[in-house]
Structure 1
Amino acid sequence: MVTVHRSIRHEPRPADAPPIGRLDWLLVGVFAAAALIESIVAPGSAWRPLVAVLALTLILALLWRRKHPLMATLVGWGVAGLLSILQLTAHTGDLGLYSMMAVLLLLYSLVRWGSGREMVLGTAFVTVVVALGMCVSSTGWADVFGGSVLLLLFVALAAVFRYRADLWRRQQREIRNQERVALARELHDTVAHHVSAIAVQAQAGRVVARIQPEKAAEVLAAIESEASRTLVEMRSMVRVLRAEDAATYSPQLGVADLPALARAHATPTVEVSLDNSSTRLTRHVDAALYRLAQESLTNAVRHARSATRVGIDVRRDGDTVRLRVSDDGRTEPGPVPEPGFGLLGMAERAQLLGGWLSAGPGPEGGWVVEAVLPVEALA
Structure 2
Amino acid sequence: MSSAFNEPNDFGPSVDHVPTGGVLASLGLDAARAAEFAPYVDRGLVAGRVSRVDRSTCDVVTDDGVLRAAHGAGPLPCTGDWVAVAVVGTPNEEPVIESVLDRRTALTRSSASGRSEGQVLAVNVDSVLIVVPLDVEPDLGRIERLLTVAWDSGAQPVVVLTKADTVDDADDVRADVETAAPGADVIVVSAVTGEGVEVLGAVAAGRTLALIGTSGAGKSTLANALTGAEVATGEVRQDGKGRHTTTWRELIPLPGGGVLVDTPGLRGIGLYDVNDGLDMAFSDVEEFAEQCRFADCGHVAEPGCAVLEAVETGALPHRRLESYRKLRREADWIASRTDHRLRAERARQWKVVHKEMRRNPSPKK
Q: Over alpha carbons, which structure has the higher Rg?
A: 1
More strand by share: 2
Same fold by TM-score greater than 0.5: no
TM score, norm. by length of structure 1: 0.24
TM score, norm. by length of structure 2: 0.24
More helix by share: 1
